[in-house]
A and B are shown apart, each in its own frame.
Chain A
Amino acid sequence: MKEKLKSFTNVVYRNPILVILVVYFIITSVTIPYFFTQRNLTNILIQSTDLIIISCGLMFVLLNGGIDFSIIATMGLGSIIGALIMNTKTGLLANSAFGAYAAIAVMLLIGLVIGGINGLAVVFLKMPSFMATMANYLIFSGFALFLAQSKSIANLPKAFLFIGNGKLFTVIPFPVVITIFVCIIMSIILSRTVFGRSIYAVGTNHATSFISGIPVKRTIFTLFLICGLLAAIGGMITTSRLGAGRPLLNSERLMDFVAAIILGGTSIFGGKGTVSGTILGALFIAVLSNSLGMLGLQWYTIMIIKGAFVLFGAWLDAYKTLRDY
């Protein structure tokens, strides 16, 4: 019994987000009417899909102790260029059956290109990721606003709308399928490949990794590629769900992404973090936003409450680091 209790407290200590999520979920299910309904829960699930994917991508950069603000630009620019290509009224490929597919390819490519630029700036120009990605955020978001003339572009083709709204076998929401697929791949990469192990090593200590014969530069560069690619996929889901290309897509959610990662146990100092933790963190943020919204709270109140939780997560990280020594 004592052993069991000990292993239970260990689980709690290692995965506080799991406990927080379950406890909070139970409390809201009991106290908020209509929260625990199939309709609402499906809603939460769908709304958390892009959050999960984007946060997972961003987590890779945080694993090296970095940050990527430019994901906002990646999503906005992708959203606009994609819409410019495929919208059924004025799009470049408005009448082509391949319009949606071409747009998807271009959107993914934009993610890789911006991620690549970030990676080059950080690895070869030795710029802090904070500055490099901040600058790229300004540049590419500005470009997206210019292309869109600050407007949304609607009339997206059906094939593209399926990404965010469709259902597989008429029951499983398609974005959930994408999310599960992406998460499984990312989780395997991180925990079971040489590249994944290298990420943790490099994120913990560049010098030791370099001397141990790990390709430090290539590893860091690839982190930004992954972050860009996953932001592009997430942005695609959001665009599809909203049914319109927007130049500042998801820009108001940047702090949600970071919050999900930190609450999921990723250390901002690098070297620590898991895909499963980030998924739980993102689910918690989604449940929190949804439930507080149902209570009719104002957005600023929600902001304050989210902030308090992030503060708690960051404190826990610092506390654990201290306690281990």
Chain B
Amino acid sequence: MGNGMSSNEDYILRLENINKSFSSIKVLIDINLKLRKGSILGLCGENGAGKSTLMNVLGGVYKRDSGKIFLNNKEFNPESPRDAQKAGIAFIHQELNLFSNLTVVQNFMIENLPVKKPIRLIDEQSIRNSTKKALEEFGEDISITSLISDLDMGHRQLVEIAKETSKNARIIIFDEPTTSLSNKEKVTLFNIIRRLSKKGVSIIYISHILDDIFELCEDIVVLRDGRTVGTDKKENLSKHQVIRMMVNTEINDMYPRVTKTLGENVFSAKNIFRKDVLHDIALDLRRGEIVGLFGLMGAGRSELVRALFGVDKFESGTITVNGNDVKKISPITMKKLGVAYITEDRRNEGLLIDKTIKANIVLSILKKLQGRNRLIDKTKEDSKSSGMIKKLTIKTYDQNRQKAGQLSGGNQQKVVIAKWLLTESKILFLDEPTRGVDVGAKYEIYNYINQLASEGSSILFVSSEMEELMGVCDRILIMKKGKITGELKQNEYSQEKILEMAIEW
């Protein structure tokens, strides 16, 4: 901390040398964080820097591997979210934890309903009174009998905050709370947070919107690659300093490069518009080109690719493949036109978790497996599938027995890739293809991507990791709030530039 005078007494919460790994990947490395009583601390970092994991360790969702947590100078070892709740730690998540089909008052005490003796009926009067009291403290006029779904996002958040504080929360953690709020709602939220802090509640405010952090917070902690890289009072920092801390300046040689020549335009999208999600998007892919698409959480990256592949409908815009306008945009037509799409949500949209590896791999080419009698040629099926398993070195003991869900993350991703490689598509949309994949498999995936491009395929590579985009792509498009806000050529790459275009100032 910048203030050397503080003693441990001043801190309601101290995290010391927290480490956490998932399988062999270190996600948190010697993290230190101190929260002063009644203060507002801003926690920033890129996607994947470890913010959420750290908060989940604090909240009892994950168990830390090593390190100590002190709450009011007493060691604190949360075993479950309930322990954290009992200790007065509350979370306000981006996606609110309210039941939108219930009313405000019904939501309020749902975890802990007061009952009346002797037959344990729910004490409705007492709930109503305490709900009213909790809401009145925030001075907002919300009827306790209105349905959550009838409230706007700002008021919903307020209900959630009131609900958490009514449980005597001493520490409240806000995780990207402003993503779905209007400016006016944001002002209200900030006033509430300041009022809470004055009342002695300590706040951790997680955001990638630096403007908000600088407006609201007193202390700032920056995480990068699972480490604490900066801790200081707001007065001692500038936004540019914080961005530089968030960014890793060294790029290692993880990324193989190949030389190739780019061909003609094979895919273009024009004026893609989907209300509140995508605005006037234009995008081109040339033969052999790898185009990166970067955006922070909520920027609309995945939504854009889903629209381009026909998974989600959009209101207007045109898509051209190999010079021809696509009439009915759906996964079926896009597949026919030679477009492949590897989704971000591998478990729920990429794989049939419950089915065998072979069944997954051949899923996209069932029609091509038909013999002359229109029946599926099992020999062909076997050879296609095992050919891919060999080519991508998918580790399985038996493609006919082992289910996709029993594979590791990296091998699961390879199965999805295999499925689409079999279609021999020349245009590939990859949404976070290396998420949840170990380093070795990551390297292999980068290699496939390069190889495909050098063979003349065009690739749209969506990622929230700047580093891999800079390592693999020929150019990078940057999205913010459903718009493409910038483009960088390979010789212009720098993480600062990318973040400056991606962050909401």
Interface of A with B (CB < 8 Å)? 188, 192-194, 197-198, 200-201, 204-205, 207-215, 271-272, 324-325
Question: How far does the Cβ of A88 sit from chain B's closest Cβ, in whole Å?
Answer: 43
Could you mark each residue 342-357 of chain B with 1 if its beta carbon is under 8 Å from any beta carbon of chain A, else 0? Answer: 0100001111111100
Contact B363 A271 (CB under 8 A): no
Tell me whether chain A's interface is mostly helix, strand or loop, or mixed: helix
Contact B364 A212 (CB under 8 A): yes
Contact A201 B335 (CB under 8 A): no
The 5 A-B pairs of least Cβ separation, nearest first, read A213-B335, A192-B375, A194-B366, A207-B349, A204-B352
Contact A215 B353 (CB under 8 A): no
* B348: A residues at CB distance < 8 A: 205, 207-208
Question: How far does the Cβ of B156 sit from chain A's closest Cβ, in whole Å?
Answer: 27
Q: A213-B364, A325-B405 are in contact. Are A201 and B352 (CB under 8 A)?
A: yes
Contact B366 A211 (CB under 8 A): no
Contact B367 A211 (CB under 8 A): no
* B375: A residues at CB distance < 8 A: 188, 192-193
Nearest residue, chain B, Cβ from A321: B354
Q: A204-B352, A205-B352, A212-B363 are in contact. Are A193 and B311 (CB under 8 A)?
A: no
Q: Inter-chain contact count A-B, CB under 8 Å?
A: 76
Q: Is B442 interfacial (CB 8 A cutoff)? A: no
Q: State the CA gap A205–B375 with chains docked (Å).
A: 23
Contact A271 B376 (CB under 8 A): no
Contact B376 A194 (CB under 8 A): yes
Contact A204 B366 (CB under 8 A): no
Q: Which of A193, A198, A213, A271 is close to B354, meaning CB atoms less than 8 Å apart?
A: A271
Q: A198-B366, A271-B355 are in contact. Are A211 and B376 (CB under 8 A)?
A: no
16 A-B pairs, CB-CB below 8 angstroms?
A194-B366, A194-B367, A194-B376, A201-B355, A201-B363, A204-B355, A205-B352, A207-B348, A208-B348, A208-B350, A208-B351, A211-B331, A212-B364, A213-B332, A214-B366, A272-B354
* B370: A residues at CB distance < 8 A: 194
Q: State the CA gap A197–B311 with chains docked (Å).
A: 21
Contact A193 B352 (CB under 8 A): no
Q: Is B414 interfacial (CB 8 A cutoff)? A: no
Contact A212 B355 (CB under 8 A): no
Contact B403 A197 (CB under 8 A): no
Interface size on B, residues (CB 8 A): 31
Question: How far does the Cβ of A126 sit from chain B's closest Cβ, in whole Å?
Answer: 15
Question: How far does the Cβ of A319 sit from chain B's closest Cβ, in whole Å?
Answer: 15
* B419: A residues at CB distance < 8 A: 212
* A214: B residues at CB distance < 8 A: 332, 363, 366
* B366: A residues at CB distance < 8 A: 194, 197-198, 214
Q: State the CA gap A193–B351 with chains docked (Å).
A: 20
* B273: A residues at CB distance < 8 A: none
* A325: B residues at CB distance < 8 A: 405-406
* B341: A residues at CB distance < 8 A: 211
Nearest residue, chain B, Cβ from A271: B354
Could you mark each residue 302-341 of chain B with 1 if its beta carbon is under 8 Å from any beta carbon of chain A, else 0? Answer: 0000000101000000000000000000011011100001
Q: Which of A197, A200, A207, A215 is close to B332, meaning CB atoms less than 8 Å apart?
A: A215
Q: Is B359 interfacial (CB 8 A cutoff)? A: yes
Q: A205-B352, A211-B343 are in contact. Are A200 and B359 (CB under 8 A)?
A: yes
Contact A204 B354 (CB under 8 A): yes
Nearest residue, chain B, Cβ from A213: B335
Q: A192-B376, A215-B332 are in contact. Are A205 and B353 (CB under 8 A)?
A: yes
Q: A192-B375, A197-B376 are in contact. Are A210 and B331 (CB under 8 A)?
A: yes
| Most chain A Cβ neighbours within 10 Å, of B332, B351, B370 | B332
